[in-house]
Amino acid sequence: MTPLLEVEGLGRAFGGVYALRDVSLAVTRGQTRAVIGPNGAGKSTLFNLISGHLRPDHGQVRYGGRRIDRLSPGKRARLGIATVFQGARLFAGMTALENVMVGAHARTRHGFASAAVRLPAHRREEAQIRADALAALARVGLHDWAHRPAEALPLGQQRSLQVARALCARPTLLLLDEPASGLRAAERRALAQLVESLGAEGLTIMLVEHDVALVTRLADQVSVLDLGAQIAAGTPTQIRRDENVIAAYLGPGHT
């Protein structure tokens, strides 16, 4: 069966320095793939090349067997790729529901600006988006927060809200770039549980996460990047024993 996502020989340089170099990997449907590595290893660059926010200098990105590496981010989103960006911000002054709806408007044919005109087609679309947004909020456990200001949410729930925004698009592939960074232990556990349950429902997930215990719990496969290159790939158990990974990232004292 064709993997959902195939990255082949992918490379991207900034100012002559390769942020990502000749990376190849395949993500099968329903898999959770963690991407780990030191700061500046190229993890976010890889995600941006998959989501379309960056174009590659070399290589290909295929989704469902089709090349997508020249498509706009919007087209890739409509094919089913949704992203929670590293350090993503919420819209302050908007409710949780509005935050999710604004994300959804970005993908619709009419867009947010023209939705303001309120033609009948827009009103139907608006009602659908609202229903989808409420469902996405419920899915991440934020139904009761729908009409409260997004910035009033505790940080852990703000991250769940980002996930809801991504889920509103009903993605097939969800890219999560450090969704748990800066969260406290209890919040991390809650977020891990959410990611785990999304994976159990069959969503294909790519996750950047520094906590190896969390990666071991959530990931079927792990890719390890260092200085833009993939230095190892395998199951969490294989990765934890890999000498290159221990030398470049985990350190000798890891458990």
Ligand X SMILES: Nc1ncnc2c1ncn2[C@@H]1O[C@H](COP(=O)(O)OP(=O)(O)OP(=O)(O)O)[C@@H](O)[C@H]1O
List residues near ligand X by CB under 6 A.
14, 19, 37, 39-45, 86
Q: Which is nearer to Mg ion, 35 or 142 (CB)?
A: 35
Cβ 38 to ligand X shortest distance, Å:
7
Q: Counting contacts by CB under 5 A, is residue 86 touching Mg ion?
A: yes
42 binds, among Mg ion, ligand X, none (CB under 5 to 8 A by kind): ligand X
Residue 20 CB, shortest distance to Mg ion, in Å, is 12
Q: How many CB atoms lie within 10 A of CB 112?
A: 12
- Tell me which H or E stretch contains 84: strand 81-84
CB of 42 to Mg ion, least distance (A): 8
Q: Using CA atoms, how far apart are residues 69 and 135, in angstroms rounded to an integer?
A: 31
Give the CB-nearest residue to Mg ion.
44
Of Mg ion, ligand X, none, which one does residue 112 interact with (CB within 5 to 8 Å by kind)?
none
Tokens of 238: 């294989």
Binding track over 20-49 against Mg ion, x by CB under 5 A: -----------------------xx-----
Q: How far is the CB of 246 from ligand X (least distance, A)?
A: 18
Please count the CA atoms within 13 angstroms of the CA of 24 that sit on its side-chain side. 4
Site string for Mg ion, 88-117 (x = CB under 5 A): ------------------------------
Question: Can you state the angle between helices 155-167 and 185-200, rounded to 10 degrees?
Answer: 20
Q: What are phi and psi of 254, to 5 degrees?
A: -70, 160
**51 versus 172: smaller Cβ distance to ligand X:** 51
- Cβ partners under 8 Å of residue 140, min gap 6: 160, 161, 163, 164, 167, 194
Expressed in angstroms, the distance from the first to the final Cα of the chain is 36
Partner from Mg ion, ligand X, none contacting 182, C-beta within 5 to 8 A by type: none
Q: How far is the CB of 41 from Mg ion (least distance, A)?
A: 8
Q: How far apart are CA 138 and CA 148, in angstroms?
A: 14
Q: Which spans of this chain sit near Mg ion (rule: CB under 5 A)?
A: 43-44, 86
